[in-house]
Amino acid sequence: MKNTKKAIEAFSTYLQKKEHTIPWVLLLGEKGSGKTTLLYYLLSSNRDKVFPDTALNWIDISYGADWFKLIDLGKEILIDDNVIEYFLSIADGIVYVINGESEESLKESTEQFHSIVDRIPSDVPLLVMINKRDPERKVNLSQVLSNYDLGRISSPTDPRSFHFEICTIMTGEGIYRAFDWFISKLMSYEGYHEMVSVHRVLIYDVNGLLDFDAQFSSITDSEQDAVLITGLLSALNSMTRTLFKDSSFLDVVTVGDYSMVLVSSKQKICCLFVERGGAIGKAKQIAEMILDIYLEEGEKGRLAIENIVEESKHKDEDLSI
């Protein structure tokens, strides 16, 4: 339990220092359900720091253009009701993984499932994933609905955003279908898209040479290293657009504490350094506007670019120039 207490203390300290600017998702499930496999599946295309203490992990994950913080609770924490109540109170969404390996394992999971689901606020979207390790195994849907009483999770008298998916996490079957639904519900709250903190604006030519640089915060060593990386990425980005007929595969790159958002137009590439986990969609909109200004006015547009960045810090702003 010492490791558990340390993990929770570390998380509490983290909460005091970090703004709640992206949704927080709680990942739950019994040991052997496949939730750790799901975690690494989601991380496969965007590696992030994973804390070694298995009692508690919190990881920033990107899904398409959206980001969310995944909080993974280990078995040691799940036995403490007070701790569970705390995490349920701060979560914006819940993913619950059920072991669907056999009929027996499905029956064994019902008690813990209901003990947790009954305490989830009705306005929090819930994704239930029934994980079968064998893709060929047939799951008795009517039995699952009956055993887990899934029909009552969302009802006219107690409506909630709820979805369940029978999947094979090891192969990825069903994951994207499930998370497409989940992310759409999770991101429906516009507050998560309101603010972008831009630290730096860089504009490169197609060869990766820097044409424009505007800084909006003190430069860290990691940021300086990332500037060199973005020059290479800009040149490589141009090559991919040429090879793949304008389809860019390097529009968002995360390094250290920053996400680098790149947009391209007329042989120029604009890169924004934004805080990791920021609203990528809005960042792209800002980058496009900045690049339009630079292409039209060059260095003379610096003041207008600075104004655009300043506007992006405010909530409920309709960006316009």
Would you place residue 247 in the very low, low, confident or very high pLDDT band (cuts 50, 70, 90)? very low
pTM above 0.75, yes or no: no
Domains of the chain: 2-191 (3.40.50.300), 194-311 (3.30.450.70)
The strand pair at 162-167 and 198-205 is best described as unpaired
Dist CA 35 CA 27 (whole Å): 7
- Contact call for residues 71 and 24 (beta carbons, < 8 A): yes
pLDDT (0 to 100) of residue 319: 45
Residue closest to 23 by CA, chosen among 90, 60, 61, 69 = 69
Q: How many CB atoms lie under 10 A from the CB of residue 309?
A: 20
- Contact call for residues 91 and 83 (beta carbons, < 8 A): no
pLDDT (0 to 100) of residue 48: 41
pLDDT (0 to 100) of residue 36: 72
Q: What is the pLDDT of residues 129-154, one digit of tens each?
A: 888 878 788 887 777 777 787 766 76
Over the Cα atoms of the chain, what is R_g? 22
pLDDT (0 to 100) of residue 94: 93
pLDDT (0 to 100) of residue 308: 84
User: Whole-number mean pLDDT of the chain?
Assistant: 75
**Over pLDDT 90: what percentage of the chain?**
9
Dist CA 109 CA 46 (whole Å): 31
Q: What is the pLDDT of residues 286-312, one digit of tens each?
A: 888 899 999 999 999 999 999 888 877
Position with higher pLDDT, 113 vs 241: 113
pLDDT (0 to 100) of residue 95: 94
Q: Is pLDDT above 70 for 18?
A: no
